[in-house]
Amino acid sequence: MNRDKRVHRRTVLQAAAGTGFFLALSPGFLLTGCDGGVRATESVTLGLDSEEYDVELALRATPDSVSILPGTPSEVWRYKAELLKGPKNTLTENTNSYLGPTIRLRRGQRVKIHIHNELPEDTTVHWHGLHVPSDVDGQPRLPIQPGETMTVGFDVWDRAGLFWYHSHAHGERGGRVGFQSYAGLAGLLIVEDDEEAGLGLPSGDNELLLVLQDRTFAGANELVYLDGGMGAMMDRMHGFLGDRILVNSVPPATRKVATRPYRIRVLNGSNARIYKLAWSDGRPVTVIGADGGLLPEPEDRPYATLAPAQRLDIWLDLSQSQPGSTLELISDSFQAGMMGGMGMMGSNALPLGSRFTLVGLEVAESLEVNEQLPAQLGQQRQRILVGSNTRIRTFELRPVMMRGFAINGRRFEGPHVADDEKVRLGDTEIWEFRNNTPMPHPMHIHGLQFNIVGRRGGNSDSLQQGLVDSGWHDTVLVMPRETVQLAMKFERFAGLFIYHCHNMEHEDAGMMRYFQVQG
């Protein structure tokens, strides 16, 4: 079935006239959404060809209005979902939030999702970090037009971990990932499995899920993104930094906790901001997991570095805390090359590397709980084996005059791959990213989890000790002048995938490429 729907410029401008949110955007940026109007989206099921699904969801990308700050609600774009089939706890609605519902899946489930686009422009939904086939990965080559529905099906192959879903639209005149995610199109996706369940980690109310984002608001609480002029140009170059921190879509708050251990799972859902997670009383940050699930063993760090799109799993034991005391999770101050310096001056009240509070934990209840942090965590998935004969593929990150950053001299050009962007299904390779720019870049690879082999060079200084390189990852922060090697194996799915910088403004400006897994 092919229900071609065209978006006329008029439609989008009407939307613009009706909401302060759109008025706060530069017109040039707004109109890029019209590019998609001439293409057709077919309502077909991509991915699995099966009648039997364990979970079936309807997911809508839709305009809405939500209270973020006191006073007038803000216009947002957000996901809403409905459970059509599957366990009741599959969806947790985030009421009073622009974040999409938290989707809880279990390894081995077969999942079908109907995605409805109720926005005035093309969109896609990308399952960040999940090992899914190319066609259901939400790539920009398969946009969903306004008014259209796309159905995707996939098996949950991944081990337990915290993943997320967000828009990945990229029109002919540039990326829309930054805009659409900023408008609210993002949500958490949790995968559970037997190995993790066997560890008995804190769950329910004792598992805190935190999505860290930054936003800028205009006078009547309208969200402001790249609002024109010199500031917007700088923001495109450095990545957009909001002047207010939001945690789960509202300003940082204090919550009541008890004298017991907690599992704190954090997503950096910001467009460009890097966080330096630390405890206000100086206690070490006990990291138990990263993007691709639990680490082999817990690791104590003075602080933990969290780049855009990355996730961290943290163990916090409050058993010894005094009732009445409050512990804060903060983002501590740091230097980050040119991003923290000159570039941001004058244009932002909360520059990169500022210190601020993320959440306050007020110990309000005394409990006798005897839950110990297991000494061994994710032991089942063995690291990818690499040796002196493993093929090394190098990617050089370099600035392009006035146009952002390039990867091996190339910028995004749609589903087109160069010869050195073709890999073989089943192969193990080392991908080496060399950062020849003065900025850190969170490099992300679709469709798989990798191991970090090592780093050399670079001036990570005040973020270095917080880089968690063990375990499994889909996004790695490559510091200025640094070279990082990743071990990856191209398993199960042939086809086109994407790699890019997850600083969304860099990505939207073309710091993104397709690669092809040849079967």
| Residue from 78, 106, 114, 128 binding ligand C2O (CB under 6 A) | 128
Nearest residue to 148 via CA among 287, 39, 64, 286? 39
Q: Which is nearer to ligand C2O, 112 or 444 (CB)?
A: 444
Q: Which is nearer to ligand C2O, 271 or 354 (CB)?
A: 271
Q: State the Cα–Cα distance between residues 138 and 144, nearest whole angstrom.
A: 9
Q: Which is nearer to ligand C2O, 66 or 169 (CB)?
A: 169
Tokens of 236: 């495109």
Q: Which does 506 bind (CB under 5 to 8 A by kind): Cu ion, ligand C2O, none?
A: Cu ion
Q: Any contact of residue 309 with ligand C2O (CB under 6 A)?
A: yes
Contact pattern from residue 88 through residue 127 relative to ligand C2O, giving x for each residue in contact according to CB under 6 A and a dash for the rest: --------------------------------------x-
Q: Any contact of residue 273 with Cu ion (CB under 5 A)?
A: no
Q: Which is nearer to ligand C2O, 30 or 309 (CB)?
A: 309
| Residue from 260, 311, 455, 500 binding ligand C2O (CB under 6 A) | 500
Q: Which does 309 bind (CB under 5 to 8 A by kind): Cu ion, ligand C2O, none?
A: ligand C2O
Do 218 and 24 touch, CB atoms closer than 8 A?
A: yes
Within 8 A by CB and 6+ apart from 387, the residues are: none
How does 302-339 read in b/e, with b if 16+ C-beta sit within 10 Å? Answer: ebbbbbbbbbbbbbbbbeebeeeebbbbbbbebebbbb
Q: Which is nearer to ligand C2O, 126 or 265 (CB)?
A: 126
CA angle 468, 302, 195 (to 5 degrees): 45
Q: Any contact of residue 501 with Cu ion (CB under 5 A)?
A: yes
φ, ψ of residue 254 to 5 degrees: the values are -105, 135
Q: Any contact of residue 444 with ligand C2O (CB under 6 A)?
A: yes
Q: Any contact of residue 506 with ligand C2O (CB under 6 A)?
A: no
Candidates 93-101, 226-234, 365-373, 434-442; binding stretch for Cu ion (CB under 5 A): 434-442
DSSP string, 285-326: EEEEEETTEEEEEEEEESSEEE-TT-EEEEEEE-TTPPTT-E
- Is 160 strand, coil or helix? coil
DSSP string, 337-397: HHHHTGGGTTT-SS-TT--EEEEEEEEEE------PPPS----SSPPPP--TTSEEEEEEE
As measured in angstroms, the least distance from the Cβ of 380 to Cu ion is: 24
Q: Which is nearer to Cu ion, 262 or 450 (CB)?
A: 450
Q: Which is nearer to ligand C2O, 128 or 238 (CB)?
A: 128
Candidates 346-354, 365-373, 402-410, 497-505; binding stretch for ligand C2O (CB under 6 A): 497-505
Residues 109-138 that bind Cu ion (CB under 5 A): 128
As measured in angstroms, the least distance from the Cβ of 68 to ligand C2O is: 22
φ, ψ of residue 83 to 5 degrees: the values are -85, 115
Task: Identify the sign of the CA torsion 181, 184, 167, 144.
Answer: negative
Q: Which does 273 bind (CB under 5 to 8 A by kind): Cu ion, ligand C2O, none?
A: none
Distance of CA 367 to the CA centre of its chain: 35
Q: Which helix (H) or strand (E) holds 62?
A: strand 55-66
Candidates 21-29, 40-48, 253-261, 503-511; binding stretch for Cu ion (CB under 5 A): 503-511
Candidates 100-108, 112-120, 278-286, 498-506; binding stretch for Cu ion (CB under 5 A): 498-506
Q: Which is nearer to ligand C2O, 74 or 268 (CB)?
A: 268
Q: Which is nearer to Cu ion, 410 or 441 (CB)?
A: 441
Q: Which is nearer to ligand C2O, 299 or 505 (CB)?
A: 505
φ, ψ of residue 472 to 5 degrees: the values are -115, 140
As measured in angstroms, the least distance from the Cβ of 514 to ligand C2O is: 11
Within 8 A by CB and 6+ apart from 250, the residues are: 68, 96, 97
Within 8 A by CB and 6+ apart from 14, the residues are: none
Q: State the Cα–Cα distance between residues 450 and 454, nearest whole angstrom.
A: 12
Residues 135-174 that bind ligand C2O (CB under 6 A): 166, 168
Q: Which does 503 bind (CB under 5 to 8 A by kind): Cu ion, ligand C2O, none?
A: Cu ion
Q: State the Cα–Cα distance between residues 128 and 57, nearest whole angstrom.
A: 17
Distance between first and last Cα of the chain: 30
Q: Residues in the site for ligand C2O, rule: CB under 6 A?
A: 126, 128, 166, 168, 309, 444, 446, 498, 500, 502
Q: Residues in the site for Cu ion, rule: CB under 5 A?
A: 128, 441, 446, 501, 503, 506
